[in-house]
Amino acid sequence: MIAISTDRRALARSHYGELARIGKALGSPIRLQLLDLLRQGARTVESLAEEAGISVANSSQHLQQMRSARLVTAERKGKHVEYRLAGEAVAAVFGTLRDLAELLLPEMHGLRHELGVLDPAEREEILARVREGSVTLLDVRPAREFAAGHLPGARSMPLAELPGRLRELPRDREVVAYCRGPYCPMASEAAAILRAAGFTARHLDLGFPDLSPRQLRPSAPPRRAVALEPRKAGKSR
């Protein structure tokens, strides 16, 4: 039997404490909302506070807690402090946490229904049309989020500007609106505005952080099988 020292066992257990730091930093609805906003791109404390509907002081406090857990980084730009995610892995953890909640918590099913979260078949059908380029793809998030990153081929038309810019859209193509992700209501609200104005419109419930460029590339057509002539006996190459 291999002997393991008490010190090494204690050291092995200590990594749970480090994991708990991440869990504690994520254990707040406000911090998760701020994290989701930062998935859309870097933002100042003031901008995050305004979008989240909280005070600047409260926003700053929550951001500092996430910073202490290394989930976000901060950079001073003039009079403002700009925050961003520490890396793509942080955005991925948010998506995984959301998927786990959908799998385990029955309350999430009611939220999915109320907010118009798509079933996988309809989502894939819309994505296929986006890949084909047969729809007009609208990003209805604020313009600064579009500038930070957006789906290929999308055009920026923030929700607040949409009613006054309908004439810019072709009426002979279906319009697909997207925003921040499955539980963001802006895309379904945009689709309702468009339908009321006579457009054929739907919403895509995935956002820029949820989709890689590879998922939106048109799939290559299957290669045609080439029939090989049977080799004749007695002939060699």
Helix axes 29-39, 6-26, angle to 10 degrees: 80
- The conformation of residue 172, written as its DSSP 8-state character, comes to S
Residue among 179, 186, 187, 204 flagged as catalytic: 179
Q: Which amino acid is residue 166, in one-letter code? A: L
231 vs 47: which has the higher pLDDT: 47
What span, in angstroms and rounded, lies between the C-alpha atoms of 161 and 141? 10
- Domains of the chain, each with CATH number or no CATH: 18-90 (1.10.10.10), 106-216 (3.40.250.10)
- Which helix (H) or strand (E) element contains residue 183? none
pLDDT at 225: 43
Judged against a pLDDT cut of 70, whether residue 71 lies above it is answered with: yes
**Does the annotation count 184 as an active-site position?**
no
What is the percent of the chain where pLDDT is above 90?
79
Per-residue pLDDT reduced to its tens digit, 97-134: 999 999 999 999 999 999 989 999 999 999 999 999 99
pLDDT digits (tens, 9 = 90+) for 6-24: 788 888 889 999 999 999 9
Q: 146 pLDDT exceeds 90?
A: yes
**Residue 228: strand, helix, or coil:** coil
pLDDT of residue 222: 43
- Mean pLDDT, residues 78-89: 95
pLDDT of residue 211: 86
| pLDDT for the residue numbered 88 | 92
pTM for the full model?
Answer: 0.82
Could you read off the pLDDT of 191-230 as tens digits, one per residue?
999 999 999 999 999 999 998 655 565 444 444 444 445 5
Q: Around Cβ 17, how many Cβ atoms within 10 Å?
A: 8
Q: Is the pLDDT reported for residue 79 higher than 70?
A: yes
Could you report the per-residue pLDDT of 158-187, keeping only the tens digit for each? 999 999 999 999 999 999 999 999 999 999
